[in-house]
Amino acid sequence: MRKILLAAATAAALAPCVALATDGYFSHGYGMKAKGMAGAATAVAQDAFGGANNPATMAFAGNRWDIGVDWFSPHREASRTGSGPAGIDGTSESGATSFFIPEFAYNQMISPELALGVTVYGNGGMNTSYPGGEIPSASACAGFNPAPGPYNLLCGNGKLGVDLSQLVIAPTLAWKFSPEHSIGLSPLLGYQRFKADGLQAFAGFSSDPANFTNNGYDSATGWGARIGYFGNLTKEISVGAAYSTKIAMSEFDKYKGLFAEQGGFDMPANWSVGVAFRPESAWLVAVDYKRIYYSGVKSVGNPSAVLVNCAGGDLSACLGGSNGAGFGWQDVGVWKIGVQYALDASLTLRAGYGRSDNPIRPEDVTINILAPGVVQNHYTFGATYALDKESEITGAFMYAQKNSVSGQSLFAQFGAPATTSEEISLSEYSLGIAYARKF
């Protein structure tokens, strides 16, 4: 029990260090082994990251702890064309391109049937930092923003961007109710941090302009739960399923004039199902399907076009209102397939492919200059090398192919020419290493 308490304390110490992500703003995988297989882990019990993937797998993970770090590099671009005499065309690249993300997990078998552990994982990726000054002073931005230019891509002043980080600490209890089947439960303790800069041009659409932009970091906490099932149907086939409730978060008071429901920003509900095949002892093939309900969080899922209703006098549709404008993200489905091959007793190789729906529609491109989470195709590779019977090193690499979305600018609804359009794009790389020890 003392080891478990120490692990929980370590998890709390990592709280400020959270991950960026690729399935919308969820990670493509949790734990370095899962990352090497494109995140396919719902029906696989290879490490102590069950609190993020499937709590029930912890009953089969044994006594172990895993710790590692991932280098994550997103590359984001945004441009506007077709504004003609309005003069608000421009192009910019986000300068935030390098992040180091720790990971940690611990599991201990209290009895042959009962496991207790803790997993620390994060989400994010709504992190952009455009330098500003892309649009000259002599432009239509002056009609949206009374402050003198030059202006950023959203007609605000100075740098433009947002920074959202989400961390979850998941204490986990798993129980083998029969020799080959288990269930698990993870209370989810959430922490998130956010700031926004350069949105001054939209202050007139805010229900609380004083708590809208350039207020530095604010934080919020909340809780939810994940439940899971895992079963070995035969020696060759295992299955798994997991469901996470929405994590109900406290409000961002400094940005209650930006996010719907006076600063609300819950973490969305999601579920996954998976199956793993072992055609022979050296091979493992895992397939997962995951569903993420971004539309269930108003500040994320509400369409940005409801700002037109705000301009027409519907205060509930204004930024920060009870049904205020959001990023317009749709629910997404994600397919993940991973392959693992044990080359010998010491070296195991992995590869994977993940395909995610694009949460962003063309009509919501303007606001998603702030959060262009549009990548869909993920290619991964990984390997584990056993140092001895108790310890191992695992590495993983991910490449998310560049994808773009374009659509008519929201500025066209407020006086800019109908030909005004924007394009956002994103590509990503990650490279990580982790050390694990069994005990």
Query: Is the pLDDT assigned to residue 305 strictly greater than 50?
Result: yes
pLDDT of residue 277: 98
Structure tokens at 187: 């209370």
CATH code for residues 2-438:
2.40.160.60
pLDDT of residue 161: 96
Q: If you count them, how many residues does the chain have?
A: 439
16 phi, psi to nearest 5 deg: -70, -10
C-beta separation of 268 from 296 below 8 A: yes
306 SS3 class: helix
Q: What percent of the chain has pLDDT over 90?
A: 90
Residue showing tokens 């986990």: 172
DSSP bridge pairs for 275: 239, 287
DSSP bridge pairs for 75: 427
Residue 423 CA to residue 81 CA, distance in Å, equals 9
Write the DSSP assignment of 102-146 as a string of letters: EEEEEEEEEETTEEEEEEEEEE---B--B-S--B-SSSGGGGT--
Pairing of the two strands 161-178 and 377-386: unpaired
The DSSP secondary-structure symbol of 265 reads -
Which of 288, 306, 407 lies closest to 43 in space, CA to CA?
288
Name all contacts of 231-236 with Cβ < 8 Å and 24+ positions apart.
Answer: 231/180, 231/181, 231/182, 232/180, 232/181, 233/180, 235/278, 236/277, 236/278, 236/279
pLDDT of residue 132: 96
Cα dihedral value 29, 33, 37, 42, nearest 10: -60
**Could you count the other beta carbons within 10 Å of the beta carbon of residue 100?**
10
Write the DSSP assignment of 152-214 as a string of letters: -TTS-SS-BEEEEEEEEEEEEEEEEEETTEEEEEEEEEEEEEEEEES-GGGGGGBS-GGGSSS
Mean pLDDT over the full length of the chain: 94
All structural domains of the chain with their residue ranges:
2-438
Query: Is the pLDDT assigned to residue 57 strictly greater than 50?
Result: yes
Query: Is the pLDDT assigned to residue 59 strictly greater than 70?
Result: yes
7 phi, psi to nearest 5 deg: -65, -40
The DSSP secondary-structure symbol of 57 reads G
Which of 60, 350, 70, 17 lies closest to 180 in space, CA to CA?
60
pTM to 2 decimals?
0.94
Residue 332 CA to residue 165 CA, distance in Å, equals 20
Structure tokens at 57: 């797998």
Which residues have C-beta within 8 Å of that of residue 77, sequence separation ≥ 6?
91, 92, 93, 94, 372, 424, 425, 426
Query: Is the pLDDT assigned to residue 15 strictly greater than 60?
Result: no
8 phi, psi to nearest 5 deg: -65, -40
Which range among 89-93, 273-277, 309-313 shows the weakest confidence by mean pLDDT? 309-313
Query: Is the pLDDT assigned to residue 2 strictly greater than 60?
Result: no
Q: What is the pLDDT of residues 318-330, one digit of tens each?
A: 999 999 999 999 9
Q: What is the pLDDT of residues 348-361, one digit of tens each?
A: 999 999 999 999 99
Mean pLDDT on 362-383: 96
Residue 311 CA to residue 325 CA, distance in Å, equals 12
Residue 362 CA to residue 412 CA, distance in Å, equals 13
DSSP bridge pairs for 286: 276, 338
Query: Is the pLDDT assigned to residue 126 strictly greater than 80?
Result: no
